[in-house]
Amino acid sequence: MITEPLIAIALCIVVYGAFSGRLEKSVISAPMVFMLSGLAFGSAGLGVIHIDIDNAVLKGFGELTLGFILFADAAATNSRYLVRENRIPKRLLLASLPLTILVGGIIAVFLFPALSWQEAFVIAAILAPTDAALGYAVVTSAHVPERIRQGILVESGFNDGLALPAVLLFAALAFSAMSGETRGLGYWLGFTAKQVTIGAVVGVVIGGVLGKFIHYADGKHWIAHSFRNLTCVGVAVLTLLGAHLVDGNGFIAAFAGGLVFGSFCPKRSGALTNFVEEEGQLFSLIIFFFFGAVMLPAATEYFTIVCVFYALLSLTIIRMAPTVLSLLDLKLKWPSIAFIGWFGPRGLASILFLLIAVEHEEMDRFTEIEAVVYVTVFLSVILHGASAAPLSRLYGKTEAAKIDGVRPQN
């Protein structure tokens, strides 16, 4: 029955909400509470919740939630500041992200000999994107300089969309190898380019045109107070789903659309951000609850020491080494590089990408891939959630934060 999960979720909302002001400054994060509550109520704990969730339903709900959050985060981004100072997110997206997939794939090949190299790289691509929601205390902290916060936020916004073509590519290659199908390099290059470029174009067009229109309508006082946020939500959904209609990447479209929308309609983008902090956060927390209650217990029998070891490598060396290499020549101080490298949490996008990969291509050894992804997300929710607030305060007091946050280093 759906009654028990809804009661448990409502209870989590009430209890966490009552202490949220204090907990947000502590080592206890909202995703952590909801995930662990789901684990406690689910089959791995008290066994109160017994529910089968259709993957297609969960994927659709997760995709809308992630697209909505990406659009709102982008709309709240200081785009003018980003134009002036974009070197950190540009390095993280164009250099660190591909290196992360490469390093993660190579390590997975050696640690999981039962998997094909294509399946090993599926794991690496699924775990490459970051989730700013798990480090919410970082991207909203007044202790962290805007330059660093914007870099982390923009990276987490765009890398979802940039990683998805890689996920689909390696999943398709794994299926092709298993079925004996062969396709040329040109096909795969075209597939990847189409995913990225079409999504960006759709997002810019929809976000720009509707942003100008809403800004004009708002200036004429045509929009009723009750519809001010809803119109923005409609634009977010249109950017996400509009890209799908032309086989583009919906996540890139949502974030690119949000950036343009925020530039043309700044008055509404601020209200949208406040709206998302409540409704968007609620949707993502519901997914973390079901992740703990249903998805994580189903994969526990496939957890191994090697899975945990790879998960820890994914959160440290696989993420941080490419970050160091990509940011070195920007002459950032080491505390700043370490701070950016550590806050690469894995969360909603990785859960969603796993469901998308399985939907597109039937992989032969899904259960092992599922176990690696889920244990990595579980550890990330705990470790990044617990460290976000205290490390933000600690980093904000360093000389590195003052120097790297004030001016670009030449």
Q: Domains of the chain, with CATH numbers? A: 54-404 (1.20.1530.20)
Output the pLDDT for position 169: 83
Rounded distance between C-alpha atoms, residue 198 and residue 209, angstroms? 16
Output the pLDDT for position 176: 73
Angle between helix axes 117-126 and 348-360 (nearest 10 degrees) is 140
Q: Are 230 and 275 in contact (CB under 8 A)?
A: no
Output the pLDDT for position 377: 95
Rounded distance between C-alpha atoms, residue 294 and residue 280, angstroms? 21
Rounded distance between C-alpha atoms, residue 402 and residue 269, angstroms? 29
Residue identified by tokens 């399946």 is 119
Q: Are 307 and 119 in contact (CB under 8 A)?
A: no
Q: What is the pTM of this model?
A: 0.84
Q: Is 180 left (phi over 0), alpha (psi -120 to 50) or beta?
A: left
The 3-state secondary structure of 167-228, one letter per residue: HHHHHHHHHHHHHCCCCCHHHHHHHHHHHHHHHHHHHHHHHHHHHHHHHHHHHCCCCCHHHH
Token pair listed for 239: 């950017």
Output the pLDDT for position 32: 92
Average pLDDT, the chain: 84
Rounded distance between C-alpha atoms, residue 272 and residue 314, angstroms? 33
Alpha carbon distances (Å) from 74 to 59, 129, 254, 313, 404: 22, 16, 8, 29, 23
Rounded distance between C-alpha atoms, residue 187 and residue 296, angstroms? 36
Output the pLDDT for position 26: 84
Q: What is the pLDDT along the chain (410 residues), one digit of tens a residue?
A: 567 788 888 999 999 889 888 888 888 889 999 999 999 988 777 777 776 666 667 778 888 888 887 887 778 776 555 556 678 888 999 999 999 999 999 999 999 998 889 899 999 999 999 987 777 778 778 889 988 888 888 888 778 878 888 888 888 788 777 666 666 667 767 777 777 788 889 999 999 999 899 888 888 888 887 787 788 888 888 998 998 888 888 888 988 898 888 888 776 666 666 666 567 778 888 889 989 988 888 888 888 999 999 999 999 999 999 999 999 888 899 999 999 999 988 888 898 888 887 765 555 566 888 899 999 999 999 999 999 989 999 999 999 988 887 655 44
CA 227 to chain centre: 28
